[in-house]
Structure 1
Amino acid sequence: MSTTSVVSSPHLQLPDTQAVLTVLATLADINLNANVAKLVTINAGVQVGITKVNLTIADVDAQLELIVRLGHLADIVERVFQSLDLNPLLINTLNGVTAALDNVVGEVDGLLGSITQGGTTLSFLVDNLGNIVQQVGGTSSIVGNYLQNMTYTGTSQSVGNGLTQKTYSYSALGSLVNIVFNSAGQIVQAAVAKATGSGSSGSSGSVSNSTQSATAAVSSVLARN
């Protein structure tokens, strides 16, 4: 946690007789930046400025005071530190969960297979939104969605860590596809389980499929963590 303060004079004491105050420019900039174990991130601040002030005070006892209260934010950070002090294993747990999440998200896109048609290779994959994406060379285009273009086989199983694998039939490539969802229903992995032997009409050539199932992919990700 770092707190920075640039204040020229927080208190201005005036004599009892007479004072002449001329201010061309003064700036008070107070910032609170805190990041605790990826639990709490705070960035708050106050900026106060005065420009071109000419003030004459006679026979007055006065005091000018600038108060900026960031106590509540500091209390939040302090409570987080106290919790970590009582439960130091929380830091290791949080780091492990973050690493596992990063690895799973990094493997969201799942290659379904490819078709050679007219000398051109068309590759198909599922993105994290459930779209079926066709790739030709360096060009990608959405050609469908797993909900509309695949048929749920009714097979579902838990693969741990709140992930659920469901098997769909994709007749366009003649294959069964395992799609893994997290607890929020978002896709984290898609992979071909096996080819069913039937492809879509009008396609020529061979269909090449991924040999790694979603279960193995997720298991390897979790094993690394």
Structure 2
Amino acid sequence: MRFFMSPSFALCSILSFSATQITSSTASSSKGSSTSTGTNPASSSTQPPPDVLLRVPNLSVGRIELDVDNLSAEINLAAEVASLVKINAGVQVGIEKVNLTIVDVQAELDLIVRLEPQVVSIVNRTLATLDLAPGLVGLLNGVTDVAGNVVGNVVGNVGDVVDNVLGDVGGAAGGVVNEAVGSVDGLLGSITQGSKSLNYIIDDSGNIVQVTGVAGKTVTSIVGNYQQNMTYTGQAATLPGGLVEKTYKYSPLGALVNVIFNSLGQVVQTTVVTSKTGTGSKAGSTGGDGVVQRAASGLFGLLGL
């Protein structure tokens, strides 16, 4: 029997029908009655387990007629760790003026999604940092407020802000903030020039990023990389999974950085071993304001700014 439907009604019908088929097929697969054959790509011994797996072992369609004027579809994958890291990956597809007729079709569908190692590394590093310093979650909102005041050069109000966040702008505040900064990877160091603070971090691609405050806003810019601006110390170590860790020195701030490469020589992760904070071109910035500036710089490094 041949039938026709309006575009909106036809679209609802096909989507409802597909959802019913997928639910039914998935249920039958769990009971062992799937009719799928061939090699299972998700269980191959040479591939890691997928991050997302959608399997429709048996999809049968008698007859479908579909008229569409404009159809768009969007698939999103969202991952969030506390309020520190948010990752969104998605696919958007759009088609116009489609007339589709499907008759007596049987199909098998496997959708396998594997995230890039860099995405997994970002989440793993964030979780590892929180495991070492769980207090960062509670201090996140307060330290963010302090960082905004420092970048905006409102130094006169820093004492009151830190007092509201940590309860004591003196030794207790300095100890807590220093402990938080010590747990953050990526901070090469800070340089204070008059009322302007320049913070330098290294991202997971090996780029040296300068973070400054301009008119109360945070501005980031790439000013170099580990290949051009750092010196290889000759220290190297072999890590599991075919990874190699090499140590580089960033002389302007006296920082040592461990750079991890994969088997193709690509940078997959960087970690700052030691760093310094100074005034002008020399190290030695001290006092409550310097502690808060280092806290802000460490937070920028954790968030990948």
- TM superposition score normalised by structure 1: 0.48
Q: Of Structure 1 and Structure 2, which has the larger fraction of its residues in strand?
A: 1
- TM superposition score normalised by structure 2: 0.38
Q: Of Structure 1 and Structure 2, which has the larger fraction of its residues in helix?
A: 2
Which of the two has higher C-alpha Rg? 1
